[in-house]
């Protein structure tokens, strides 16, 4: 198997170190843009939460804390398998890394399955704004606003998950074919950063949508 480092040294770089540094740095900057992207929505949500605490609490109570908690555990487990995959690659255990990556992708699919089940449950309960929303609560309008943010933010998160899962599968194949070795697996590390970030975003989403309604 030819040296992956040589194969993968792009022509704009002078040395492998420069490439490694550049790829990792670029991923961190990308994550900064994602923080701003989700952050904008978190800010808008917070403004309305302060304006309409009762309606938002009611919306939050609708959420299934059981499914939300399961999903949180699921995603954290996937971050574990991702970290283990990178660790395996650094130990030159590429086949194991590939297997762990596929496990990560699978767990991600489990997350999405649970999420879409929740979406369907909301739809059946007539809580899908713009599609079918009905509520007899005195705070119906604020509840609908809550649900708009719920679908928008978890939906955006789900899109990021889908992109992540696709990339993880691609990288699992590449790892199996020996595109990385213990010296050079920087793209895998960058993917790991992305995956962990998406996980962290979920934790915050879980907090604002599921937990905030628990107190009453």
Partner 1 sequence: MSTVVKIPTAETPNYLTEERGILSWLLTTDHKRIGLLYLASVTFFFFIGGIFALLMRLELATPETDLVSPHTYNELFSMHGIIMVWFFLIPSIPNTLGNFLIPMMIGAKDLAYPKLNLASWYIYMFGGIVALYSMARGGVDTGWTFYTPFSTIYSNTYVVGAALGIFISGFASILTGLNFIATIHCMRAPGLTWFKLPLFVWSHYATSIIFVLATPILAVVLLMIAVERIFQVGIFSASLGGDPVLFQHMFWFYSHPAVYIMVLPGMAVISELVAAFSRKRIFGYTFVAYASVSIAVIGFLVWGHHMFVAGTSVYSAMYFSLLSYAVAVPSAIKVFNWTATLYKGSISWDTPMLYAIGFIGLFTIGGMTGLFLAALGVDVHVTDTYFVVAHFHYIMVGGTIMAFLGGMHYWWPKISGRMYPEGISKLSALTVFLGFNLTFFPQFVLGYLGMPRRYAAYPPEFQTLHVLSTAGATILGAGYLMPLIYFFWSWHYGPIAPPNPWRATGLEWRTPSPPPKHNFEVTPVVTQKAYDYDAMKEELGLV
Partner 2 sequence: MNSLQLLPQTASTVATEWNWLFWMLVAVCFLVASGIAIVLVYWAFRYHRKSENELPPQIEGNIKIEATWSIIPFVIFLGMFGWGAHLYVRIEKPPVNAREIYVVAKQWMWKLQYQTGQREINTLHVPIGEPIRLVMTSQDVIHSFFIPAFRVKQDVLPDRYTTLWFEATKPGKYHLFCAEYCGTKHSGMIGWVYAMEPQDFQRWLEEGGSEGSLASTGEKLFHQFGCANCHHFDASGRCPLLTGLYGTEVHLIGGKTVVADETYIREKILHPRGQPIEGYLESVMPTFAGQVSEEQLLALVSFIKAIGPGAAALPRSSSGTSNVQFGQQKGIAGPGATSISGSRPKDR
At residue 133, what are phi and psi to the nearest 5 degrees? -130, 125
Using an 8 Å Cβ cutoff, are 196 and 82 in contact?
yes
Query: Out of 67, 70, 84, 152, which residue is the one contacting partner 1 (CB under 8 A)?
Result: 152
Q: Which C-beta is closer to partner 1: that of 14 or that of 136?
A: 14
Q: What are phi and psi of 128, to 5 degrees?
A: -110, 100
What residue ranges bind partner 2 (CB under 8 A)?
A: 52-54, 138-139
Taking the complex as a whole, the smallest distance from the CB of residue 156 to partner 1 amounts, in Å, to: 8
Residue that is written with structure tokens 């938002």 in the block:
56
Q: Which of 101, 144, 161, 190 binds partner 1 (CB under 8 A)?
A: 144
Among 1, 2, 6, 11, interactor with partner 1 by CB under 8 A: 11
- Annotate 155-202 with DSSP letters as a single string: HHHHHHHHHHHHHHHHHHHHHHTT---SS--HHHHHHHHHHHHHHHHH
Tell me which long-range contacts 85-94 makes (C-beta under 8 A, separation of at least 24): 85/175, 85/188, 85/192, 86/185, 86/188, 86/189, 86/192, 89/175, 89/180, 89/181, 89/182, 89/185, 89/188, 90/182, 90/185, 91/182, 92/181, 92/182, 94/175, 94/176, 94/178, 94/180, 94/181
Binding of partner 1 by 22 (CB under 8 A):
yes
Specify the stretch interacting with partner 1 by CB under 8 A; choose among 45-53, 80-88, 95-103, 104-112.
45-53
Q: Is residue 36 part of the contact set for partner 1 (CB under 8 A)?
A: yes
CB of 138 to partner 2, least distance (A): 4
State in angstroms the smallest separation of the CB of 55 from partner 2: 9
Tell whether residue 134 is a contact of partner 1 (CB under 8 A). Answer: no
Among 2, 6, 14, 215, interactor with partner 1 by CB under 8 A: 14
Q: How far is the CB of 145 from partner 1 (least distance, A)?
A: 5
Beta bridge partners of 116: none
18 binds partner 1 (CB under 8 A): yes
Considering the rule CB under 8 A, would residue 119 count as an interface residue with partner 1? no
Please work out, in degrees rounded to the nearest 5, the angle formed at the alpha carbon of residue 24 by the alpha carbons of 13 and 207: 160
Task: Kindly list the residues in this chain that would bind partner 1 in the complex (CB under 8 A).
Answer: 10-14, 18, 21-22, 25-26, 29-30, 32-34, 36-37, 39-41, 43-44, 47-48, 51-52, 55, 129-131, 141-142, 144-145, 148, 152
């Amino acid at each position: 198997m030819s040296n992956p480092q040589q194969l993968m040294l792009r022509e704009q770089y002078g040395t492998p170190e420069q490439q490694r540094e550049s790829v990792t740095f670029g991923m961190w900057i990308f994550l900064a843009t994602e923080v701003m992207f989700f952050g904008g929505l978190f800010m808008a949500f917070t403004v309305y939460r302060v304006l309409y605490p009762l309606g938002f609490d009611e919306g939050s109570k609708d959420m299934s804390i059981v499914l939300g908690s399961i999903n949180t555990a699921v995603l954290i487990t996937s971050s574990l398998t991702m970290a283990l995959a990178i660790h395996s690659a650094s130990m030159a255990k590429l086949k194991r890394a590939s297997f762990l990556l596929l496990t990560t992708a699978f767990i991600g699919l489990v997350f999405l399955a649970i999420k879409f089940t929740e979406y369907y449950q909301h739809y059946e309960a007539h809580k899908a704004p713009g599609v079918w929303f009905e509520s007899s609560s005195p705070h119906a309008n604020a509840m609908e606003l809550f649900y708009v943010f719920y679908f928008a933010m978890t939906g955006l998160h789900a899109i990021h998950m889908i992109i992540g899962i696709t990339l993880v599968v691609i990288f699992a194949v590449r790892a199996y074919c020996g595109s990385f070795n213990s010296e050079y697996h920087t793209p895998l590390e960058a993917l790991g950063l992305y995956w962990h970030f998406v996980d962290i975003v979920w934790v915050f989403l879980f907090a604002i949508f599921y937990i905030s309604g628990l107190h009453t």
